[in-house]
Amino acid sequence: MPVNYAEQYSSALANAYPYVLNYGALWNTENSDKYRAVDAKTIKIPNLSTGGRVDGSRETISGFSRNFENDWETKTLSHHRMWQTLAHPKDIDETNQVASIQKLTKTMNETQKFPEMDAYLISRLYELRNEREALTPISNGSLTKDNVLAKFDELMVEMDEALVPLQGRILYVDTYTKKLIDNAVELSFVRTSGTKNIDRTISRIDEVKIVSVPTKLIKTKYSFTNGWSAASDALQIKMFLVHPSCVLPIVSYEFAELAPPSAMSQGKYVYYEESFEDVFILNKKYKGIQMVVEAAK
């Protein structure tokens, strides 16, 4: 009898996210526990706000009234994905178990699903961030070793002004920008005679964790018709500064099942999995996402 092991499968994948996804720290954020599921495709996020403090008095007692509001942000998961395969018992036997269902799903996860999840997350965050406040692509040329640290510092200042916590910020960059940053930092050391304290006044790059991402997985737009691929009008994201507290990722597996060979499957194993997944920005924290994007050429 086939067994739906969606919950166990989902839990196992979640444990692997930080190690197999470029944006694993965002997919595995603690924000995942801060929502209420309405159904498989809809969630509600609590949106708590309070009034501020006022002067106290030692002479009188003031009246009491409610000093907070609790609204809800409703979000609908729009990324509905599925994967299926047949596997003939002979294929499994004749490949010395290499084509077992477990190995097939592992290969699919590592070569298809996980890169797709990375592509979806970055493009979705770009889309949502622009809906809240438009990002301006670089219009006066590309990043260079002479301006990359200054551009980064501008992103940091934007977050500082929005009261985004410093602790926990992550800077995702494509591989070429990572090389630019390394060269710029090295150049700064040379210019300041290797004095690190002086160099820190030039840039705040050592205040964040830097993660290098392959260029094809840090673009603004993808197609997910069959697997994933960059859209023809996609722009390259050069720097993506984010505080995980503003990102809410959801992955909900409704079905994951392996059925043994039967007459209905013409003697073959049948595997099928289905998930609803999406990524959201918490409305009041969108300033926790800052990007440098190259303009269309």
Q: Using one digit for the tens of pLDDT, what is the confidence trace for 136-173?
A: 887 566 888 888 999 999 999 999 999 999 999 999 99
Q: Helix, strand or coil for residue 290?
A: strand
Evaluate if residue 121 carries a pLDDT over 80. yes
- Residue 94 maps to a domain: yes
Q: Which helix (H) or strand (E) holds 254?
A: strand 247-259
Count how many domains the chain has.
1
- Residue 193 maps to a domain: yes
Evaluate if residue 200 carries a pLDDT over 60. no
- Residue 159 maps to a domain: yes
- Residue 67 maps to a domain: no
Instruction: Identify the CA nearest to 29 among candidates 288, 223, 255, 227.
Output: 288
Task: Say if residues 222 and 234 touch (Cβ distance below 8 Å).
Answer: yes
Transcribe 105-165 into DSSP letters: HHHHIIIIIHHHHHHHHHHHHHHHHHHHS----B-S----TTTHHHHHHHHHHHHHHTT--
- Residue 78 maps to a domain: yes
228-267 burial, b at 16+ Cβ within 10 Å, e below that, comes to bebeeebbbbbbbbbbbbbbbbbbbbeebebeeeeeeeee
Please give the structure tokens belonging to residue 112.
């298809």
Strand partners, 47: 71
Instruction: Identify the CA nearest to 21 among candidates 224, 290, 279, 205.
Output: 279
- Residue 55 maps to a domain: no
Confidence of residue 8 (pLDDT cuts 50, 70, 90): confident
> Tell me, what's the pLDDT at 199?
46
Confidence of residue 211 (pLDDT cuts 50, 70, 90): very high
- Residue 255 maps to a domain: yes
Confidence of residue 201 (pLDDT cuts 50, 70, 90): very low
Confidence of residue 187 (pLDDT cuts 50, 70, 90): confident
Evaluate if residue 217 carries a pLDDT over 90. yes
Confidence of residue 191 (pLDDT cuts 50, 70, 90): low
Instruction: Identify the CA nearest to 27 among candidates 69, 79, 86.
Output: 79
> Which residues touch 194 (CB under 8 Å, ≥6 apart)?
none
Q: What is the pLDDT of residues 47-100, one digit of tens each?
A: 777 888 888 878 888 777 878 777 777 888 889 999 999 999 988 888 877 778
Task: Say if residues 70 and 47 touch (Cβ distance below 8 Å).
Answer: yes
Q: What is the pLDDT of residues 22-38, one digit of tens each?
A: 999 999 876 656 676 66
Please give the structure tokens belonging to residue 83.
């994967």
Q: How far apart are CA 72 and CA 279, in angstroms?
A: 17
Question: What is the pTM for the complete model shown?
Answer: 0.85
- Residue 60 maps to a domain: no
Q: How many C-beta atoms surround the C-beta of residue 8 within 10 A?
A: 12
Share of the chain above pLDDT 70, in %: 90
Evaluate if residue 198 carries a pLDDT over 50. no
Q: How many C-beta atoms surround the C-beta of residue 44 within 10 A?
A: 14
